[in-house]
Structure 1
């Protein structure tokens, strides 16, 4: 039964259906049933969106009128705040979020981080005096200016869609770009609401466009390969990120990528509350569907058996505390789709085949409902060369790896193609900082500190991405630098 409104396109200032009234079903992860329908955009719809965005950038003052942009982005923010209940419904029914996730990253952190972007916007430096230089027998006065890069294609994921949509859309709009937002097929309404409320806010036609489509690739391919699109910003898997880079090479389209992760949490033997730190490493928040989750737990060999016992008890105590739609204390619901559920289960089977020891979970749970439920799962006796330790599972699967000393922990942490997030815990702050400084990762928590907020840059090393989201740096990703030399 449909519980969500129809997700429509927003093209050239008009909220509308796709060409030919094409629709596709929006499937709810909790039930596996249809919870709504969404516009299924055609190539013609994508073409119209690109043309509108190009025209709005090239023929209006959007890119140069900083005050106007900020005013409209603030107005749109106010509409989102006023529609928080609708955002909650979308996160619960479309994304499959449990209440704890809704009240944190899915909705409230998205709104808080939006405000952070508006707060740091005045820090963007649009022009810088570069002084004078005597060359060729005359004096040149020099300056550099920042200008919007142009038309942005924003391709976003299904795991935290409202949050990521805010990051890309708001940052690009503040920078002066025009935007075509293409949300994931699984979460169309999380994108469609941006178009609906932008229309209500009075955005100029073409500045923001939203395209939803059932095909996971077609609309994205059209954006990536069209020379009228100046920048592609993508959050998702590393494999798709590499494909986007290859596809965009022909037109030299700039790419800004936030990709996968296989982050560590290192609990050193002197951690002030070792039991709590290990227990809190249980991977259940939003069913582990986060690129920055700490899915590799590194514990010292000297306390390894103790850590295993703590985790065994923690997972056992959590056995009936997940999968409850109406429980405000529930942090974990289903995964997004049957496809993702099958993928996670396949990795669990691989872990067993590789010789890791399963101390919790490992099974599908149809008794939880007709949706896509898989148990919180924990493997111990894992070595870092196993696939379950090297590959991003994107599900509620924690792997536990012992280490000898600090050097060994650093080696294991860095033995990964990824470098997105991580954590270190120790009673000795200086020791923890030394370890953190040597881990090749874009963000890292020391003793529980929060390195991810809307006013801070976020992004990865190695195959975890290119560029930084959020903060001033996140806005600047959507800018070009022009250097001007002149004579008086």
Structure 2
């Protein structure tokens, strides 16, 4: 049975102020593996966005959600259980709409995001909302000081298409744990899975009306309402750096707190003592994870110059063995790109790279039906070229030669981005020393996996501002209030 056979076909409801609201206008959701229609999602307009913000504002100002920790813990527990109870429906919809492989739904596409809710429910049980900073004497008078951590307010959360469950829950769970109210807008490329989350919240939790509002929309104006509305206190966005800059500028008029998780062009550095077979396999399968549609993937592979050709052959052999195709098949490792437009963008960048002097070792071909692109290796890449500097968001690896550790560090840091990276070496201390010189928010040593709910995730430079997940993710949604009381 394919995923299409078990996916609900049509969803026509937004979640606004505790009600599932129908719209006449819809977004057509397309299965990227087949090009066929999955279903129809509600297409919110500015009126819906304003209603959602108003509902979130009322829920924050007029209920005890922001101060009732016990209620928040109970609701997060309920949400976690509801997600588990509905996981198979979520799985099939994620496969059909996102093009995620069945394998990935047991990891970062679904199973891992659900555990983010569990993590924040548990963290909230023990997280100290008050910090005593002691007594001090000033001009003969003693003063007792302490800090209280308060909810930041109404949150506008906007997510991308590539990992919709992860991105939504990595924003929603900590915001709710902090006592914020939320307006969440999913990507118009993957609207159905976001609206399913709204239905689960409405039907299976005691989260009060207005605390969570979920929209899907094709209108740019809806995002503009969310990022400029005076009743919104915090904006959290995951997507492209270009859009992130526009959101930051738009939010500046009302001085909102802005958290941005943006693009990446991460480097995998192979040192001269590395196991080349292991490095090649890691690089090849990493770049093909979700067809390369991941901001933290290592899309540049930096190898010793005298081993460049050997590594190219090894990586090419692994890429040619990557199973791609029907994402509902448990044996499939790589699925499609999200749209024909995205595939054309990827192919255009590959063709321009070859024209600029890079060598196409393998791949560089569209595969139909659906929006598939063959795993691709470009060798002899100029570190200053477009393909080495700009985010591709496809299964394309750029192989770049380096002349030792210092040169590798220089090339890795020669980027506007600073999200992630990795190094492979037989000497762990040497690898860690190299990693400490790379200006990124996360870093992997010999394939180490940092992506879990308790670990902060985010980047330097144009990869963003702030962190998601971990204690740091909760604190993005808290304000600090300092108290001082004159001691009697």
Per the shorter chain, which TM-score range? over 0.9
Q: TM-score, normalised by structure 2?
A: 0.96
Q: CA deviation at 1:111?
A: 1.7
Equivalence for 1:81? 84
Would you say the 8 A contact 1:15–1:199 is kept in 2? yes
Distance change >3 Å, CA 47–CA 258, structure 1 → 2: same
Asked if 1:15 is matched to 2:17, the reply is no
Would you say the 8 A contact 1:121–1:472 is kept in 2? no
Structure 2 residue runs without a partner (length 5+): none
Q: Secondary structure at the match of 2:482?
A: strand
Instruction: Tell me, in whole angstroms, the C-alpha distance in 2 between the residues paired with 1:333 and 1:117.
Output: 31
Q: Secondary structure at the match of 2:279?
A: helix
Q: CA deviation at 1:470?
A: 0.1
Distance change >3 Å, CA 480–CA 433, structure 1 → 2: same
Distance change >3 Å, CA 468–CA 326, structure 1 → 2: closer
Instruction: Tell me, in whole angstroms, the C-alpha distance in 2 between the residues paired with 1:483 and 1:109.
Output: 36
Distance change >3 Å, CA 174–CA 439, structure 1 → 2: same
Would you say the 8 A contact 2:12–2:26 is kept in 1? no
Instruction: Tell me, in whole angstroms, the C-alpha distance in 2 between the residues paired with 1:388 and 1:486.
Output: 59
Distance change >3 Å, CA 358–CA 224, structure 1 → 2: same
Instruction: Tell me, in whole angstroms, the C-alpha distance in 2 between the residues paired with 1:392 and 1:114.
Output: 30
The aligned runs of 1:182-261 (5 Å cut-off) are 182-200=185-203, 201-215=205-219, 217-261=220-264
Asked if 1:315 is matched to 2:319, the reply is yes
Instruction: Tell me, in whole angstroms, the C-alpha distance in 2 between the residues paired with 1:317 and 1:94.
Output: 25
Instruction: Tell me, in whole angstroms, the C-alpha distance in 2 between the residues paired with 1:58 and 1:357.
Output: 60
Q: CA deviation at 1:139?
A: 1.9
1:135-187: CA deviations, max 9, x gaps?
24422211111101000000001000001101000110000000000001111
Structure 1 window deviating more from structure 2 (99-108 vs 219-228): it is 99-108
Instruction: Tell me, in whole angstroms, the C-alpha distance in 2 between the residues paired with 1:349 and 1:309.
Output: 20
Would you say the 8 A contact 2:76–2:117 is kept in 1? no
Equivalence for 1:346? 348
Instruction: Tell me, in whole angstroms, the C-alpha distance in 1 between the residues paired with 2:309 and 2:359.
Output: 13
Instruction: Tell me, in whole angstroms, the C-alpha distance in 1 between the residues paired with 2:129 and 2:81.
Output: 26
Instruction: Tell me, in whole angstroms, the C-alpha distance in 2 between the residues paired with 1:33 and 1:353.
Output: 34
Equivalence for 2:65? 62
Instruction: Tell me, in whole angstroms, the C-alpha distance in 2 between the residues paired with 1:123 and 1:234.
Output: 28
Q: CA deviation at 1:48?
A: 0.8
Instruction: Tell me, in whole angstroms, the C-alpha distance in 1 between the residues paired with 2:330 and 2:117.
Output: 24
Equivalence for 1:4? 9
Equivalence for 1:379? 378
Q: CA deviation at 1:70?
A: 0.9
1:280-316: CA deviations, max 9, x gaps?
2112111000001010011111322210111222223
Equivalence for 2:305? 301
Would you say the 8 A contact 1:420–1:441 is kept in 2? yes
Asked if 1:405 is matched to 2:404, the reply is yes
Equivalence for 1:44? 47
Structure 1 window deviating more from structure 2 (195-204 vs 122-131): it is 122-131
Equivalence for 1:285? 289
Q: Secondary structure at the match of 2:481?
A: strand
Would you say the 8 A contact 1:123–1:472 is kept in 2? no
Distance change >3 Å, CA 457–CA 27, structure 1 → 2: same
Q: CA deviation at 1:198?
A: 1.3
Would you say the 8 A contact 2:156–2:183 is kept in 1? yes
Would you say the 8 A contact 1:7–1:193 is kept in 2? no
Would you say the 8 A contact 1:7–1:188 is kept in 2? no
Instruction: Tell me, in whole angstroms, the C-alpha distance in 1 between the residues paired with 2:260 and 2:270.
Output: 30
Q: CA deviation at 1:123?
A: 4.5
1:21-79: CA deviations, max 9, x gaps?
22221111112221100111111111110100000000111000111101101101100
Q: Secondary structure at the match of 1:219?
A: helix
Q: Secondary structure at the match of 1:281?
A: helix
The aligned runs of 1:422-461 (5 Å cut-off) are 422-461=421-460
Asked if 1:71 is matched to 2:68, the reply is no
Instruction: Tell me, in whole angstroms, the C-alpha distance in 1 between the residues paired with 2:331 and 2:325.
Output: 11
Would you say the 8 A contact 2:266–2:419 is kept in 1? yes
Q: CA RMSD in A?
A: 1.4
Equivalence for 2:392? 393
Equivalence for 1:356? 358
Instruction: Tell me, in whole angstroms, the C-alpha distance in 2 between the residues paired with 1:412 and 1:123.
Output: 43
Equivalence for 1:268? 271
Q: CA deviation at 1:375?
A: 1.4
Instruction: Tell me, in whole angstroms, the C-alpha distance in 1 between the residues paired with 2:267 and 2:470.
Output: 24
Equivalence for 2:184? 181
Q: CA deviation at 1:253?
A: 1.1
Instruction: Tell me, in whole angstroms, the C-alpha distance in 2 between the residues paired with 1:117 and 1:290.
Output: 24
Q: TM-score, normalised by structure 1?
A: 0.96
Instruction: Tell me, in whole angstroms, the C-alpha distance in 2 between the residues paired with 1:15 and 1:22.
Output: 15
Q: CA deviation at 1:7?
A: 4.6
Would you say the 8 A contact 1:266–1:299 is kept in 2? yes
Q: CA deviation at 1:3?
A: 4.6
Instruction: Tell me, in whole angstroms, the C-alpha distance in 1 between the residues paired with 2:226 and 2:252.
Output: 13
Would you say the 8 A contact 1:4–1:89 is kept in 2? no
Instruction: Tell me, in whole angstroms, the C-alpha distance in 1 between the residues paired with 2:176 and 2:136.
Output: 35
